[in-house]
Amino acid sequence: MKKIFLVIYADEIGGAELRFFGLWKEAIRRKDINLNYNIVISKELFKVLLSRENEENREILKTQENVILYDFDIGYSNLKEFVNKRATDTDVLHFIDVLPLKSSNANQVFSITQSSLKNLNIRGRLAQVLGAFYSDKIDILDPSIYVKFSKLFFYKKNSLTLTTNSYCDVDQFESTSFERKKDWFVFLGRFEKGKQVDKLIEILPQIHLELKDRFKNDLKFIFIGYGSLKESVEHKIKEREYNNIPIELMYSSTPHEILKESKFFFSLQMHNNYPSRSLLEAMSAGNIPICTDVGETKWLAKPDFSFYVPENFREDDFVETCTRIRNTPLEKLARKSELARQTVLNEHTIEKMFKHYYEVYNTLPIEKK
């Protein structure tokens, strides 16, 4: 039986880690007779997952022999040796956004999980190129990166695949009826420059001014997350002009409880919002996206249910968008909420993602030559 080793080198959890942890859980649930799925994670990440997951998934983690733990402090080069000793020439080493081995008897799959190469410095971009060079299969999340790598690696173009979708737990991120939702506008993500949370906070007084007369059902702006800008954001909202604005700044291990009640969601990443995990979760919970119109954002936050601002938005851009939101009839907003969730239910399922990777693994040879 061919073994799959999903290798994740991280001590904290993000969208990519959650995506492949979900893939592993789905594989364990299906008990496929042709493939044996193993997940290789650090002890640190294992503890994080235990704290986040529900009781059923915690039991899966604690009792599964298919969970291989390593110490994050051993370093990546030692991790690769650690994994390679466990794989035979019939197996697959699947490296998640980290460099695979220069050579291995096992088949190697390399997943590029970046939504844009612009997110990386020169060294980071070089690592993606080397990872593709060393691998037997290259799985790429962002379509623009796929096009670039198809040209760069024209001689192994058949080894490149474009990831079909991302997914979220639609049962956990469920939606209440739009009429029962609160007039909450939510930001969920890391407080970093690339997410533009600082720019959003800067113009929040004007946004509040534009929306406060239309949205009166417990109007609130909720910012959920952590990161390097958290302290400066906390300091900013203490200024006098924010005194009458209902703002809540928090970290939550159960964001689905908030998104279930909220109506609107800010996704303001630079370069690309596709396929933002937090945006998927918000849409699944029936939130209407307010996004930067950049990259392949419209593949996910589609025009029939989303509102947009430019990537380098200014106050005037948001005022214009807020005016459109304010002038949209309630029944049309309710329809947008419904369409957002339906898009996730139809296009971003774990079943679809599992099928994609099942085909990736099964197109590799049983024994590497």
pLDDT in tens, 116-169: 898 899 999 999 999 999 999 999 999 999 999 999 999 998 999 999 999 988
- Is residue 13 a contact partner of residue 45, using CB atoms and an 8 Å limit? yes
Structure confidence at residue 152 (pLDDT): 95
Tell me if domain 2-167+349-362 and domain 178-347 are identical in fold: yes
* Architecture in CATH for domain 2-167+349-362: 3-Layer(aba) Sandwich (3.40)
- Is residue 100 a contact partner of residue 84, using CB atoms and an 8 Å limit? no
Q: Which residue has the higher pLDDT, 84 or 139?
A: 139
Quick check: 55 pLDDT over 80? no
Structure confidence at residue 369 (pLDDT): 55
pLDDT category at 367 given cuts 50, 70, 90 is: low
Q: Which residues contact 109 (CB under 8 A, 6 or more apart)?
A: 92, 93, 94, 95, 135, 136, 137, 138, 139, 360, 361, 364
Per DSSP, which regions of 32-117 are E strands?
Answer: 35-42, 67-70, 92-96, 107-112
Structure confidence at residue 187 (pLDDT): 98
* Helices vs strands, H then E, count in the chain: 15, 13
pLDDT category at 113 given cuts 50, 70, 90 is: very high
Per domain, the residue ranges of the chain are 2-167+349-362, 178-347
pLDDT category at 74 given cuts 50, 70, 90 is: confident
- In this prediction the pTM is 0.89
pLDDT in tens, 181-222: 999 999 999 999 999 999 999 999 999 999 999 998 799 999
- Is residue 3 a contact partner of residue 38, using CB atoms and an 8 Å limit? yes
pLDDT in tens, 313-329: 999 999 999 999 999 99
Percent with pLDDT over 70 in the chain: 99
Structure confidence at residue 337 (pLDDT): 98
pLDDT in tens, 17-49: 889 999 999 998 887 777 899 999 999 999 888
Interval 3-25 mean pLDDT = 89
- Is residue 241 a contact partner of residue 205, using CB atoms and an 8 Å limit? yes
Quick check: 83 pLDDT over 90? no
Distance CA 354, CA 164 (A): 10
pLDDT in tens, 240-279: 999 999 999 999 988 999 999 999 999 999 999 998 999 9
Distance CA 351, CA 212 (A): 41
Structure confidence at residue 215 (pLDDT): 93
Quick check: 366 pLDDT over 70? no
Burial class (CB within 10 angstroms; exposed 0-12, middle 13-18, buried 19+) of 10: middle
- Is residue 24 a contact partner of residue 94, using CB atoms and an 8 Å limit? no
Cα Rg of the chain, angstroms: 22
Quick check: 115 pLDDT over 80? yes
- Is residue 276 a contact partner of residue 269, using CB atoms and an 8 Å limit? yes
Structure confidence at residue 51 (pLDDT): 83
Q: Is the CATH number 3.90.1150.140 carried by domain 178-347? A: no
Q: Which helix (H) or strand (E) holds 15?
A: helix 15-30
